[in-house]
Copies of this chain bind each other. A is one copy, B any other.
Amino acid sequence: MNRSPLAPAAFPDLPAIAGVSLRTARAGYKAWERADLTLAILDDGTSVAGVTTKSRCPSPEVEWCRRALVLGRARALVVNAGNANAFTGNRGRAAVEAIAARVAGALACQPSDVFVASTGVIGVPLPIDKAEAGLDAALAAPVVAWEGAANAIATTDTFAKGASATAIVDGRTVTISGIVKGSGMIAPDMATMLGFIFTDAAVEPGFLQKALEDANETTFSCITVDGDTSTSDTVLAFATGHAGNRPLGREDDAGADAFRAALADVCRQLAHLVVRDGEGASKFIRIDVDGAESDRSAHRIAMSIANSPLVKTAIAGEDANWGRVVMAVGKAGEPAERDKLSIAFGGIEVARDGLVVEGYDEAPVAAHLMGDEIEISVDLKLGDGRATVWTCDLTHGYIAINADYRS
Could you tell me the distance between the alpha carbons of A399 and B319 in the complex, rounded to whole angstroms? Answer: 13
> Per-residue 0/1 for A305-347: is the Cβ within 8 Å of any B Cβ (1 yes, 0 no)?
0011110011011010111101111111111111101000000
Please tell me which stretch of A9-17, A158-166, A228-236, A264-272 contacts chain B, meaning at least 4 of its Cβ atoms lie within 8 angstroms of it: A228-236
Say which size band chain A's interface belongs to: 35 or more
A110 part of interface (Cβ distance < 8 Å): no
- Beta-carbon contacts of A245-271 to B below 8 Å, as 1s and 0s? 000000000000000000000000000
| Contact A123:B355 (CB < 8 A) given known A57-B326, A341-B57, A396-B399 | yes
Smallest beta-carbon distance A367→chain B, Å: 15
Query: Is the CB–CB distance between A355 and B88 below 8 Å?
Result: yes
Is the CB–CB distance between A310 and B226 below 8 Å?
Answer: yes
Given the interface pairs A323-B87, A355-B87, the reply to whether A313 lies near B403 with Cβ below 8 Å is: yes
Using Cβ atoms and an 8 Å threshold, which residues of chain B touch A91?
Answer: 355
Q: Is the CB of A326 within 8 A of B231?
A: yes
A331-B399 in contact (CB<8A): no
CB-based contact B228/A338 at 8 Å: no
Is the pair B354, A406 in contact by a Cβ cutoff of 8 Å? no
A227 interface residue, CB < 8 Å from B? yes
A122's partner among B308, B317, B323, B402 (CB-CB below 8 A) is: B323
Within the complex, what minimum Cβ distance (angstroms) separates A102 from chain B? Answer: 23
Asked if A229 and B87 make an inter-chain contact with CB atoms under 8 angstroms apart, the answer reads: no
Contact between A57 and B336, CB atoms less than 8 A apart: yes
Cβ of A368 within 8 Å of any chain B Cβ, yes or no, is no
Residues of B contacting A339 in the complex (Cβ-Cβ under 8 angstroms): 89
Are A313 and B399 interface neighbours, CB within 8 A? Answer: yes
Interface residues, chain A, CB within 8 Å of chain B?
Answer: 53-58, 84, 86-89, 91-92, 121-125, 184-185, 187, 226-231, 307-310, 313-314, 316-317, 319, 321-324, 326-339, 341, 351, 353-356, 394-396, 398-400, 402-407
25 A-B pairs within 8 Å (CB atoms) are namely A54-B333, A55-B327, A56-B330, A56-B332, A56-B333, A56-B336, A56-B338, A57-B326, A87-B326, A87-B355, A88-B356, A122-B327, A185-B327, A227-B309, A228-B324, A229-B327, A231-B326, A309-B309, A309-B394, A313-B398, A313-B403, A314-B402, A317-B404, A321-B405, A321-B406
